[in-house]
Amino acid sequence: MSKNCQCGEDKVCQLDNVIKEHKNIAGALIPVLHEAQKIFGYLPMSVQKQISKGLNISLAEIYGVVTFYSEFSTEPKGEYQINVCLGTACYVKGANDILEQFKKQLKIDVGQTTSDNKFSINACRCVGACGLAPVVTINEEVYGKLVADDVKGILEKYQV
């Protein structure tokens, strides 16, 4: 997140406009959630409350939708999304050790984001690259046949 985006008010206004545009359209919730996620980077309670009020949909229903789709997140998302595949093939080849190593290096848990908003760790289902197991993707980049000792070096590439 860049510095000039820190103004909460601005984002609230932006979201308000999105809500207004969608207000009387059937099935508005999902597109509005997508826009909101773009604006805020994630969907905390305050954002979901604003949507709840604006679209007159209960917070319970909105939260249900947000947790149903994996593209929505209630936690802030880091600039770099680390996805550790925990599909069967990767798991058998030690993906869990890789995951543990990422957690140790970044001092966060799965689903969390580092305090500088740089990295998030996610555990994901099979990404279809079983030949490369164990596999980790960071944004668009794919890393295969990893061992735990590779993790430190990979992270250093992003820390500049």
Partner 1 sequence: MGKVNITIDGIDMKVPEDYSVLEAAREVGVDIPTLCYLKDINEIGACRMCLVEIKQARGLQASCVYPVSEGLDIITNSESIRKARKATLELILSNHDRSCLTCNRNNSCELQALSDRLNVRELRYEGEKTLYPLDLKSHSIVRDNNKCILCRRCISMCKNIQTVSVIDTTERGFYSNISSPFDLSLNDVPCISCGQCINVCPVNALREKDDTELVWDAINDKSKHVVVQTAPATRVAIGEEFGLPIGTRCTKNMVGALRRIGFDKVFDTDTGADLTIMEEGTELLHRLNNGGKLPMITSCSPGWVTFCEYNFPEFLDNLSTCKSPMQMFGAVLKTYYAKKTNINPADIIVVAVMPCIAKKAESKRPEMSVNGLADVDHVITTRELAKMIKEAGIDFHTISSDHYDDPMGDASGAGVIFGATGGVMEAAIRTVYEIVTKKPLDNLDIISVRGIKGIKEANVQIGDFTLKAAVASGTGNARKLLEMVKSGEKDYHFIEIMACPGGCVNGGGQPIQSSAVRSKYDLREERAKAIYAEDVKLSVRKSHENKLVQKLYKEFLGEPGGHKSHELLHTHYIDREKYPISQ
Q: What minimum distance in Å lies between the beta carbon of 144 and partner 1? A: 27
Task: Please report how close the Cβ of residue 61 comes to partner 1 at its closest, in angstroms.
Answer: 5
Q: How far apart are CA 37 and CA 114, in angstroms?
A: 18
End-to-end CA distance of the chain: 16
Q: Of the two residues 48 and 113, which places its CB atom closer to partner 1 in the complex?
A: 48
Residue position matching structure tokens 């508005």: 28
Dihedral class, residue 139 (left if φ above 0, else alpha if ψ from -120 to 50, else beta): left
Judged by CB under 8 A, the residue of 32, 62, 106, 121 near partner 1 is 62
Residue 66 or 84 having the CB closest to partner 1: 66
Distance CA(77)–CA(75), nearest Å, equals: 6
Nearer residue to partner 1 within complex by CB, 17 or 46: 46
Binding interface with partner 1 (CB under 8 A): 45-46, 48-49, 58-64, 67-68, 74
